[in-house]
A and B are shown apart, each in its own frame.
Chain A
């Protein structure tokens, strides 16, 4: 496998995106291009990248240690050299494969979901641009190039959230996503610059960094680690920067599935795993990350319990699941975290696509309490959703069970019992709120008499494929207690962290505990919601429903505060003080002129007198001076 093709993994979606964009503009301005042209071009890109990714994977499997391709020098100032470089090692190819696979599925799904939309071409142009940015993020060989992709996905997220920009709410949500992410980027840039300052001269690709990062003093390293993690907080929606993700659900559902569930939001996890050499040196920061993850998981799960919007529930569950991933990577189990990234991508994408199918079928109804009884009407969606819900609830043998359990095991073995208990409790909550969603949506009486719309095959097929994925994806990381070989851990050997010894009995019993935890959640949900009575008016309120008023607090403190400061600066300081001073100088001159101007009295005799005085005094001066 020639390493040049690494660049093509990124370039194919990029070129496709450019073409789609131009064709879209052509289509709306000059002559309509039929949708299938767009579809073909759009679907080609992620699939081609997927094939390339698989080929690289085979190459790695056959013994190549990594692929590096550096086409040109991106930046070179005074000995600091940054190459535009691509790195295909086990981690990045792993990410590439699953991103392109999920991406292809969601592309297919979106071709059905967006059918007939006026912005069909534009949508896929953005979608492919997102794929290109995400793949650049994954395949970059230096943090700066990664940052290009990092910002690129943020931009695409903005563009796609505010896709229907005529509705102010969408644009506001897009802005919120972009700006909150920028707070994270601020941290990321500072981290990069600090790292660059200390070891940049020795090379700035991952290998050089891995080799020289130990030269950085530990306090600085801690600072870098935290700063970079602030970037991850933004991108992966962790406390306190999670607020943008629920609002981001304003975008079309395929966007939520691809960007805000499966791929982009896991970039933070990927980043931490990428910098494992750095985080390995500062375990304290790792524990900090794990706690942030644990609290995000719990907090989001609590909020999710009281939400009514189907996509919002899923959004909070995404935050919660991302929290799990950060628990794992924070505790040094990078491959465990990535395993959860992997399984989560399947079942969460599936959940969103199922939700999208429900929303489409019910003509854009998103309140779960206005659904109900959909089991008979859309049975395929029902089955696939059930699979995904079981997976996220951690019920064996579905994929979520294995990855989540491994995370909890890691927490337990690291003797972070608080994290373990939070994780376990969150697992119960997860099962509860997911089955609440599931029962209310699919069981019970049909609340609305609306006719259920027909779903096209392009929406159904990816559901089925991903349902298989959600069921079986866990088997690639089957724990050894079942006599299997953990493929994920061995593939990502360099990222699997120190092996911790665990008794089989202990491991099995921990598994049983977490299964029970999940079942308890399901049980409560069953009791409360299986035969939910839709007839009575639902009025949900309270602190939890209002998301603890965090959004309002942020709005009041940051947005309103800044706006007030802005007005203060431009009105009080600029106009009131600085410009006043400037203008008072000029009006001082004007006043002086006015005063002197009074001498111009039009009294000719006075002029003559002034002249006399002037000439006399000048003559007197001359006489006295010259003698």
Chain B
């Protein structure tokens, strides 16, 4: 979960206390490598493929996928980033602030956009991202790649590429870094 989410999730000012290691660094890199192969397989290569990492958790994953796709196919797809703060439907419900840059590599019309995020939870971030992408052109297809699908969807969305399906309780937090995936809770100090 991105720092933004953590800082603004109640109880405020609490710390992340891990209680289970889900994937270690090796497990995670194997999962991402498999996702890279699935992306190539599904799209029969990388023609017109653009990777867009969601700020902030998805960006490092998108960059890693880009490197692996270069190794697998010999050419790297363009990699961009997107901050969806301005497209969220919960402004006024909680503090929503842009955290980082949006950098979309060119017009997306006719492209196969692969949205990349660390954790898929309610689906609201992805809904916001789909709305945002519409402003950058009419993509031929939008596919979704996530490292962890933790359930609890509130919208009719499903991922195309998943690193790990992880059943969770609603109040748990999933922490994804390139060092691995841990499950924990926010606890007040």
Same assembly: no
Which of B's residues lie within 8 Å of A, judged by CB?
none
